[in-house]
Structure 1
């Protein structure tokens, strides 16, 4: 029974991955299926992108910088971060990009990052919660949290709450500040265990990853509900980038690695393609003042049924506030 409990989440995650890559392949075959929209310039606006030193995050940063936005890469690898900054500045004339250290696995580091950002005395118009780990072995952070839950979800939960005031001050009713949270199709097979968010009873890396991605959708929807109640000029949306060729797949099983090596060019998105919906969510005029959406391929679509459970959203929010030590009050 315990073996089945570990195997089932893996089968579900790989099944949803197969469904997504087949959909991506069919979309590529349709005329105009991969056309890129043109977005307005963002001169003077400021964005923070977690995990912006490589993969989807890097191309998100590069595209926003090309639009004239001042982008801050929040990451836990100083060398990778500075190299990303240099590379973007070499490619884009007058690009305003910088790196600030932020380890989402450490709640102390998240607080320090926010303090460092506030000392810059600059506005904040866009926050993109992009960073993630996937299928890592069972291990706890220094704060005692399971790594998927800490990095993918809880660190972003705290970061967003600590930056909410800056976002509210920067947004206007004509031009809302935006919070974009990256999830994935694996949230469709995720199960949220409120009594065991640390996956301590029976660890499955696939189950823990899918749970963290479901938690992100619930968080984004609850945040939009609270923002709507409070009347702040900030919106919260979720992005599903699809199945993208990134370093995250280093922990998949050997069979999946072989299939990825053989078919990635046809079935998987490039990191640049994976970043397109994040950029769309950050700057598209179509989304002005609109929150609470699940976005896939630059379109609004439906997320998993449990993600709309308002009671579950509320309970997860309250529990998360206790875990990170912030008041459970509406922003």
Structure 2
């Protein structure tokens, strides 16, 4: 009984945050993208760009003239997304690459193949994710939310940073944009059990992964600033968006989504707006270490500013991803 009560806490916390955000979305106008400059000659890499928020992010970047690389683990969906974006934007420089974020080997192979082409990289959108999946492990033995949402993007970003350092300039810093969530406010990091094996909660695991992404963003920005390189990194919160991520939500939640989704939830295109803004808006030139919601900088959870927690998570993540302590 005690274990059941403990496991219910993340559920209640997540639904509290969801209701709070939904009320904000109902009462406030969605963020509308301003006119943004063309990005001809620049390269963007978007994880999970085949559908949902990622698809519309990739589409808008292609519309602005970028060479867009969509990374995903479903080749059929990826190629279909490429076809549609090319058709809608008349930009032929859109392509799909295979990258399974649940596999360290796949991530390393993807980056190796990308670097062999000697392309620049001006924007990295860490967008892909899973939500509330049943307890499972990645190929490398990590809890799925932590392994895919967080650790996969941690490794991918670190492996691509040298290319981004070379691509960034004084006039246009290369940018890392990482999609987090308001659920990070409810997230808790248990450094003794980061891959929860006791009283597993999919809600708690999801919130933990989104919290880790914000901590990672802030600590990475500290390193980039210390280096003096032309790369910035920011975290974004898309809001509560009507996407396929809700397939693992309990039936009452799916029923509410079906009944009121058109009124309360953002469309995937609306959800993509802040990611696009963070990726190419002149307003954020040279600005990093921010948490963005509806196109504005807001305060994230108090724990995300704790440099000791940031540093500890970074060190453990490097160990798990087989990376040097500092890259």
What is the TM-score of this pair, normalised by structure 2?
0.98
Are 2:239 and 1:242 equivalent residues in the alignment? yes
* CA–CA distance in structure 2, aligned partners of residues 34 and 130 of structure 1: 19
* CA–CA distance in structure 2, aligned partners of residues 20 and 213 of structure 1: 16
Partner of 2:252: 255
Are 2:325 and 1:324 equivalent residues in the alignment? no
Q: How far is the alpha carbon of 1:34 from its aligned partner?
A: 4.3
Listed as ranges, the matches of 1:159-238 within 5 Å are: 159-238=156-235
Partner of 1:122: 119
For 2:28, what is the secondary structure of its paired residue? helix
Match of 1:74 among 66, 71, 74: 71
Unaligned runs of 5+ in 2: none
Are 2:110 and 1:113 equivalent residues in the alignment? yes
Q: Select between 267-276 and 34-43 the one with higher mean Cα deviation.
A: 34-43
Partner of 1:312: 309
For 1:72, what is the secondary structure of its paired residue? strand
Unaligned runs of 5+ in 1: none
Listed as ranges, the matches of 1:10-89 within 5 Å are: 10-28=11-29, 33-89=30-86
Q: How far is the alpha carbon of 1:94 from its aligned partner?
A: 2.8
* CA–CA distance in structure 1, aligned partners of residues 235 and 191 of structure 2: 21
Q: Is this contact kept in 2: 1:182–1:241, CA < 8 A?
A: yes
Q: Is this contact kept in 2: 1:66–1:95, CA < 8 A?
A: no
* C-alpha distance after superposition, 1:144-173 (max 9, x if no partner): 100000000000000000000000000012
Q: Is this contact kept in 2: 1:68–1:95, CA < 8 A?
A: no
* CA–CA distance in structure 1, aligned partners of residues 201 and 32 of structure 2: 38
Listed as ranges, the matches of 1:144-155 within 5 Å are: 144-155=141-152
* C-alpha distance after superposition, 1:71-104 (max 9, x if no partner): 0001000000000001111111134110000000
| RMSD over aligned Cα atoms | 0.8
Q: Is this contact kept in 2: 1:236–1:291, CA < 8 A?
A: yes
What is the TM-score of this pair, normalised by structure 1?
0.97
* CA–CA distance in structure 1, aligned partners of residues 196 and 19 of structure 2: 25
Partner of 1:277: 274
For 1:217, what is the secondary structure of its paired residue? helix
* CA–CA distance in structure 2, aligned partners of residues 141 and 54 of structure 1: 22
Partner of 1:5: 6
Q: How far is the alpha carbon of 1:12 from its aligned partner?
A: 0.7
* CA–CA distance in structure 1, aligned partners of residues 278 and 33 of structure 2: 14
Q: Is this contact kept in 2: 1:134–1:209, CA < 8 A?
A: yes
